[in-house]
């Protein structure tokens, strides 16, 4: 399980629900059931989960971070 700092209680709940799903189709189905006001929130949380998972898999060196920040 990954840890993402700074999530609200609502975002943590969405993240837990997304993490428990197994396929992209299940995630899409879950998000489609949400009220319109929460769909964007769920999409943002999904992207944060993807980014956090990639951070664990990919080695981000100081040089890469410097490049990504445009410095």
**Least confident piece of the model among 2-6, 44-48, 67-71:** 67-71
**Residue 41 buriedness (CB in 10 A; 0-12 / 13-18 / 19+):** middle
Residue 38: the pLDDT is 96
Element (H, E) at 34: none
Work out the pLDDT band at 1, boundaries 50, 70, 90: low
Domain ranges of the chain: 9-68
Alpha helices in the chain (DSSP H): 9-20, 24-33, 36-57, 62-68
Residue 40: HSE in the Cβ half-sphere, 13 Å Cα cutoff: 2
Query: What are 10-57's pLDDT values in tens digits?
Result: 999 999 999 999 999 999 999 999 999 999 999 999 999 888 888 777
Residue 30: predicted pLDDT: 96
């Amino acid at each position: 399980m990954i840890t993402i700092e700074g999530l609200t209680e609502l975002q943590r709940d969405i993240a837990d629900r997304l993490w428990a799903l197994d396929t992209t189709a299940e995630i899409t189905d879950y998000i489609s059931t949400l009220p319109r006001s929460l769909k964007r929130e769920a999409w943002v949380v999904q992207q944060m989960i993807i980014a956090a998972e990639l951070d664990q898999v990919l080695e981000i060196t100081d040089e890469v971070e410097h490049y990504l920040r445009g410095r």
